[in-house]
Structure 1
Amino acid sequence: MIHAVEEVQASRATLGDYLTLTKPRIIALLVVTAYCAMVVADGRIPPLGLTFFALLGLAMSTAGAHAVNMWYDRDIDAVMSRTRRRPLVTGKIPPQQALWMGIGLELASIALVLWRVNSLTAVWTTIGFLFYVVIYTIWLKRRTPQNIVIGGAAGSIPPLVGWAAVTGHMSVAAWLMFLIIFLWTPPHFWSLALYKRDDYQRAGVPMMPVVRGERSTKWQSAVYAVLLLGASIALYATHVVDVIYLVIALIIGLGFIAVHVPLLREHMPQVRWAKRTFHMSLWYMTGIFFAMVAGGLWR
């Protein structure tokens, strides 16, 4: 009977449901950061063929990691308002199908990148997959409020993928791009967690606002915003970007710090500035990597 129900439910799954399984909006952001790193590494628009296969491989690997993440987290997704309509929760896609889809996408990604890009790029895409699935999803997410801090390394890997695809090696500049995303991740996710606190509490996920409280979360977020500004300035010192990058990095970096001032003054249940900080974090990430491209092409 159970298998019969799963077959009926699976038959209702659409292409959109499978696309949802891969978290396409997150993939888009990660692919953009990898491409920006490719441009900076090359000092020009990189070859179309190399770009296509490197970014396709990264997208496949990331999609696979997200599918496995949804497979593992389907129990807590069911009790959170922002995730309870995901296709594994609603039963449109059977769990085993999502798991094998994720593993299959990763294996295909490795094969593609080894064939058309280089081995170092394949290594970094694989590390990103394993870090997100094993370190963040399975090990850290349900065990420690530092889940996002450490787990954020997974989302920081795409610039390393892009740099490796163009150069075949790593550099200080590539690691600084990694560091920028790594330091950006806590204030980005914690601002979301501030106004989704009840969701995480219901699911038993020890996000910082749930475990340490809003005040500690906001102060730590502000510290990361300051460190983020420092890391963005350090990238200019590597001479892979021009002064236009530095100007933009200073403006948006100081702006991101500035939104933490009213955020620190805000108290639950008020979440207006938590939401604004979250949206500002998205604009920041777009702006800083746009600045890298502009500064990299014009240096």
Structure 2
Amino acid sequence: MRPPISPLRLQRGIFENVCWQCTERALLQAERRTAASSARFFSKSTLSRTSAATTRSNSTAAVAVLPRHRFKTSYFVSNNLLARFNGTQVTSSPAEAAATATTASDTPAPDLLPHRRRQAARRQAEAEAAVAHNGASQTPESDAPTSTMAPDASSLLAAAAARHPADSLRRKFSSILSLSKPRLTVLVVLSAMVPYALYPVPAFLSSAATAAPSLSPLTLLFLTTGTTLCSAAANALNMLYEPDTDAKMSRTRTRPLVRRLLTTRAAVFFAIGCAVVGTVALYWGVNPTVAFLGASNIVLYAGMYTPLKRISAINTWVGAIVGGIPPLMGWAAAAGESATADGTWRELLFASDGSSLGGWLFAAILFAWQFPHFMPLSWGIREEYKAAGLKMLAWTNPARNSRVALRYSLVFVPLCLGLCAAGVTEWSFAVTSAPVNFWLVNEAVKFWRHEGHKGSAKKLFWASVWHLPVIMVLALAQKKGMWSRVWRSVAGEPIEEEELEEFFDEEE
């Protein structure tokens, strides 16, 4: 039994005459000295090319590197000397190898150069993706809950802002913009603009080319601006209320307040400023009824829907009410410009002649759409909702979750018929909207039958994504009397006297 040998004197071939205990002790001493020093090693490829190369650092310490081919497998059967010396670990199965690679990549390496750390992070991400892919291939995709989802628009903007310098204007602007949840805000504005454009107006008060309501462009500008700011304020208050919850979910964990790209004070000022300016713009530029609806939406979304998510699954219905208010805002804006009486909220929202029925039908469409859209979406990330403590039917009552999605999918057929009967669209809209409505119902039936499994949740979600814009476009293309007025403009036919008499009778 030879005494321990100093690692600084190790030469090539000396291990052939040294017992494994002494060799292991010597190598352990070498590892301790290497960890304590500030030496930086060359890459693994360089070490493999030099069979006896010595890695030098800023200090005078040096450790001999032995070639892998100098040792035989039988010599190391009783110990892990070779694995420890080369920085790896011998494993007996691919699963152990993957686990070892993940553990090794998680170990911090402060002595590595920055580009080496980036390479290690990239290799770790590739290994995790490979493990996730192998696990998904063994478990049916539709039967396993989705543990992660693609980040939302706010998270993507926040991630883009984080790549810029901390004091740059672009970073600050992107971080503030991400507070508004841009995609959701755009949907809210569009849901207000479609009823605005579909409000029925007498022929001689409409543009012959487009048959759009005879509202001034300034009113349209104030409606768009006010609705955008009110939506941004509600979304910013929502993020202010639940940063801890956002940090627990893959879809929202990179939002600006979670990553501390903005201070809480800045977010509060942004939310209050948007709420005040948006409400004033709607009050002064549109009418008080629309301003009241915009302010009510902020209160419902930030003050009721957001806290209820931790208390009861009824929060989904409250959120659906929030989604149904913007169509009423657009309808009330158009009705305010065409009002013949005092223009109060009773005339704009509850007219005795039934002219306000179209606005309520559009509100019902947006209310019902929330359920076949959100129920399959929440089912895919139900485990994240559960871990975050948010009460959603997707995990509290999966059977009811699928029943609710099916129930509200069935109401689109009568709602589309109601738009035709109310004189908002032509009767052809009932025919052209039937295929897309039946498509949504068919996917909802599958979702209810399989309770989200076998890919039914994903199919229903994408059906809902396409359903709403198709319905809106079809309604715009088949507005009541639009094509007849276009034909009159092209053919030069005058407006019928019956329409004029009917209009003046209403005025009287």
With the length of structure 2 as denominator, give the TM-score of the two structures.
0.54
Secondary structure at the counterpart of residue 157 of structure 1: helix
**Residue of 279, 295, 315 corresponding to 1:110:** 279
Give yes or no for the alignment of 1:150 onto 2:334.
no
Secondary structure at the counterpart of residue 105 of structure 1: helix
**Residue of 416, 421, 424 corresponding to 1:232:** 416
Secondary structure at the counterpart of residue 93 of structure 1: coil
* Counterpart code for 1:203: A
Distance 2:290 2:221 in 1: 13
**Residue of 162, 167, 174 corresponding to 2:359:** 174
Structure 2 stretches lacking a partner, 5+ long: 1-164, 202-210, 337-347, 350-355, 485-508
Q: How does 1:178-217 map to 2 (within 5 A)?
A: 178-213=363-398, 215-217=399-401
Distance 2:366 2:285 in 1: 27
Percent of aligned pairs with the same amino acid: 30
Distance 2:397 2:274 in 1: 37
Give yes or no for the alignment of 1:293 onto 2:293.
no
Distance 1:271 1:22 in 2: 35
Task: Flag the structure with more relative contact order, 1 or 2, with Cα contacts below 8 A and sequence separation at least 6.
Answer: 1
Distance 1:45 1:154, change over 3 A: same
Greater Cα offset, 103-112 or 46-55: 46-55
Give yes or no for the alignment of 1:165 onto 2:333.
yes
Asked if structure 1 preserves the Cα contact closer than 8 Å seen for 2:300 and 2:318, the reply is no
* Counterpart code for 2:444: H
CA offsets, 1:132-184, max 9 Å, x none? 1112112x221111211222111111111111111121211101111111111
User: In the alignment, what sits opposite 1:3?
Assistant: none
User: In the alignment, what sits opposite 1:6?
Assistant: none
User: In the alignment, what sits opposite 1:15?
Assistant: 173
Give yes or no for the alignment of 1:281 onto 2:449.
no
Secondary structure at the counterpart of residue 125 of structure 1: helix
Asked if structure 1 preserves the Cα contact closer than 8 Å seen for 2:200 and 2:423, the reply is no
Distance 1:101 1:271 in 2: 43
Secondary structure at the counterpart of residue 445 of structure 2: helix
* Counterpart code for 1:57: G
User: 1:260: Cα distance to partner?
Assistant: 1.7
Q: How does 1:255-266 map to 2 (within 5 A)?
A: 255-266=439-450
User: In the alignment, what sits opposite 2:189?
Assistant: 31
**Residue of 199, 212, 217 corresponding to 1:45:** 212
Distance 1:201 1:99 in 2: 28
**Residue of 387, 392, 402 corresponding to 1:218:** 402
Structure 1 stretches lacking a partner, 5+ long: 1-8
Distance 1:164 1:35 in 2: 11
With the length of structure 1 as denominator, give the TM-score of the two structures.
0.90
Greater Cα offset, 20-29 or 227-236: 227-236
User: In the alignment, what sits opposite 1:88?
Assistant: 257
Distance 2:183 2:405 in 1: 23
Give yes or no for the alignment of 1:254 onto 2:438.
yes
Q: Which has the larger radius of gyration?
A: 2
Asked if structure 2 preserves the Cα contact closer than 8 Å seen for 1:233 and 1:250, the reply is no
User: In the alignment, what sits opposite 1:76?
Assistant: 245
Asked if structure 2 preserves the Cα contact closer than 8 Å seen for 1:34 and 1:159, the reply is yes
Higher helix share: 1
User: In the alignment, what sits opposite 1:5?
Assistant: none
Distance 1:144 1:232 in 2: 31
